[in-house]
Structure 1
Amino acid sequence: MSRYPKVTILLAARNGAEFIREQLESFRAQTYSNWELVVSDDGSTDDTLALVEEFAKSVSQRVIILRGPQKGFWQNFVSLVRSPEVSGDLLGYSDQDDVWFAHKLADAVDWFEQISKDQPALFCTRTQLVSRQGVPIGFSRTFKRAPAFANALVQNLGGGNTMIFNKAARLALQKTPPEALMVAHDWWTYQVISGVGGIVHYDPRPSLAYRQHGENVFGKNVGIQARLTRALGLASGQMAQWNEINMKLLNQIRGELRSDNLAILDLFSRARTAWLPMRLWLLWRSGVYRQTAMENFALNFAAIFGRI
């Protein structure tokens, strides 16, 4: 890869006028300046587009505005991954209401210097949590177990707003059929890139301020309330519904998956429908895991009741 790769920022927007100016200014403040911005607007009725256009006139970097599919948040991001207007060596998802730290792009570019351009790779980080007003209120969880497809099957490691990936990873993502359904663009990104044998790196250093407010599609993933939410999700069968969607998507790209990961996928698939105790044995053989002992206990508990 070039020592000075171009980074394309993929910003999915919809009625983001309240916060988007601050996010745009954080792009301007990046210590790494070789970036371009592609905004997919999903039918905003406020001043979002006007603010982006104003910003575009004030920076030397290329800024493009596209019309989004208007089908939902993940469809908007996926449309950006497929867009012919995207030309960067590296690509990074952006929400409209965060604030990137000045070192965000530089950190990612430094890491990608050691990665072959032909090797699919994904960089993601921890986040600092802030209130609606931008006041720091803590940090997202720190993940300590290694990223892998066996983890990606049952848990998303990095928030999409922190993710940066290379052209080879983008090509792998584009193998997903356009009609495929998914739970979220970031979970899809982690699953596909790890599934094809790509390198996934999680950096515990926060790269942005993640704003917490009522309009977040997914909020913070820390604390007792978040743990209870995850447990209730397993108990209610929500995780099983998400897994069903993910399994269908991954089976549509079976030919792209590395053989060892395909074996994990098939064992996990059999575990989801097998009778006890075979269900637990197949789950164990698959090697799938979440990041903490408590979460793995909950995963096995859910499996007992056929909730995976």
Structure 2
Amino acid sequence: MSEQGLLQVLLSTYNGEKYISEQLNSILSQPYQPIQILIRDDGSSDNTLLIIKQYQQDHPGRIHLIQGKNIGVVPSFWTLMQHADLSADYFCFCDQDDVWMPHKAQRSVQLLSEMEKENNLILDSHANNKIRHNPFEKNIPAMVCTDTQLTDGDLNPTAIWPGMPHLKPSFYNALIQNIAVGATVTFNRATLQLLMKKNVNISDIQMHDWWAYLVVSCFGKFHFEHTPSIYYRQHGGNAVGGEWTILQKIKKKWNSFLKHKGNKNLLVQQAKEFKRLYSNDIVDPEMLVQLDLFIEPRKNIISRIGYLRKSKLYRQSLMEQLLFRFLILVGYI
């Protein structure tokens, strides 16, 4: 068998004693090898750390642990990326309460490898014609995410979520919507380097997986795989959960509105941070035009209508797109 690249799993834990063993077992039993696991514990007060340390003893050299204070989901995953092993070829975000399907690692790495090889063939062709490209293209940032098999707390299947995107994933989608379920995300070393080369204000980004989708959609390759790769457990402790009925979707949107109604323009805030860090690197002029248009203040209904006429941004469903347009018109975004 040919040598395979090292896959490092970035796993954040917090009071996960109930489910962490099942997740670690599903990762360690993957047919794909080599796999290492980097865990950052976000200040657990239960037996999570004891369980992890036992796994470290049982699997020497395969699990590394960072013990930390409670700082929250996004900062915890960001710390994991900062401490990731740059000798690894591929990386996965991972949640403590899910279970990986046996094909997850192998299929994700296969897709990323194919994306990288395809890019190298294009580069060779363009080099002969002396065509200028994206500044990050020599080692193209590449990212894969998948559907999930939603389950109840006992891993009984309920539904496939979120479903194949109706429209093509792109920068124009990523500015206003995240379709990357973090627990399914796998990316290559070039992506990690691109994410870590800038000093990001963590408080200005929505989620670590959304930020990765935004950056990769601008500078690299993004692929959504319709086949689920994890059993995505739904229970009261989920930091972010899935929804599959219309009622659940409406309820989730309304709860999000109530949660953030005192802090409008979170999407614009994230876009501003992206522009601050990456505007000088953007090759496609239309991307920069759309980024600037989205960030530009819209103080009255006339300016908001004018913006919608020029905007190329889109969400994945008609309902979501109508909601986006409504929130623009009322000045919420």
TM-score, L = length of structure 1 = 0.91
CA distance in 2, matches of 1:148, 1:224: 25
SS at match of 2:300: coil
SS at match of 1:11: strand
SS at match of 2:114: coil
Deviation at 1:206, TM superposition (A): 0.4
CA distance in 1, matches of 2:202, 2:253: 27
Give the aligned partner of residue 183 of structure 1. Answer: 206
* Range that drifts further, 81-90 or 32-41: 81-90
RMSD: 2.2
The change in CA–CA distance for 1:73 and 1:231 in structure 2 (over 3 A counts) is closer
Deviations 1:241-274 (A, max 9, x none): 421331232132123444432222111112x525
CA distance in 1, matches of 2:40, 2:148: 23
Deviation at 1:37, TM superposition (A): 0.4
CA distance in 1, matches of 2:255, 2:312: 22
Q: In 1, are the aligned partners of 2:86 and 2:189 still within 8 Å (CA)?
A: no
Give the aligned partner of residue 268 of structure 2. Answer: 244
Deviations 1:98-121 (A, max 9, x none): 000010011111111223370011
Give the aligned partner of residue 221 of structure 1. Answer: 243
Matched, 1:287 2:288: no
2:303 to 267, 278, 288: 278
SS at match of 1:76: helix
Matched, 1:303 2:328: yes
Matched, 1:205 2:227: yes
CA distance in 1, matches of 2:22, 2:152: 14
Deviations 1:160-184 (A, max 9, x none): 0000011111111113424432221
Q: In 1, are the aligned partners of 2:150 and 2:231 still within 8 Å (CA)?
A: yes
Give the aligned partner of residue 83 of structure 1. Answer: 83
Matched, 1:39 2:23: no
The change in CA–CA distance for 1:231 and 1:23 in structure 2 (over 3 A counts) is closer
Larger Rg: 2
SS at match of 1:4: coil
Q: After the TM superposition, which residues 89-108 of structure 1 pair with which residues of structure 2 at under 5 Å, given as runs?
A: 89-108=89-108
Give the aligned partner of residue 138 of structure 1. Answer: 159
* Range that drifts further, 199-208 or 275-284: 275-284
Q: In 2, are the aligned partners of 1:118 and 1:168 still within 8 Å (CA)?
A: yes
SS at match of 1:190: helix
Matched, 1:68 2:94: no
* Range that drifts further, 254-263 or 169-178: 254-263
SS at match of 1:32: coil
* Range that drifts further, 101-110 or 56-65: 56-65
Q: In 1, are the aligned partners of 2:10 and 2:93 still within 8 Å (CA)?
A: yes
CA distance in 1, matches of 2:61, 2:111: 23
Give the aligned partner of residue 128 of structure 1. Answer: 149
Q: In 2, are the aligned partners of 1:38 and 1:86 still within 8 Å (CA)?
A: no
Unaligned runs of 5+ in 2: 117-137
Q: In 2, are the aligned partners of 1:8 and 1:87 still within 8 Å (CA)?
A: no
CA distance in 2, matches of 1:235, 1:53: 40
Aligned partner letter, 1:82: Q
Aligned partner letter, 1:129: L
CA distance in 2, matches of 1:186, 1:207: 16
Aligned partner letter, 2:269: I
Aligned partner letter, 1:273: R
Deviation at 1:231, TM superposition (A): 4.4
Give the aligned partner of residue 192 of structure 1. Answer: 215
Give the aligned partner of residue 114 of structure 1. Answer: 114
Deviation at 1:293, TM superposition (A): 1.3
Give the aligned partner of residue 17 of structure 1. Answer: 17
The change in CA–CA distance for 1:144 and 1:14 in structure 2 (over 3 A counts) is same
Deviation at 1:68, TM superposition (A): 3.2
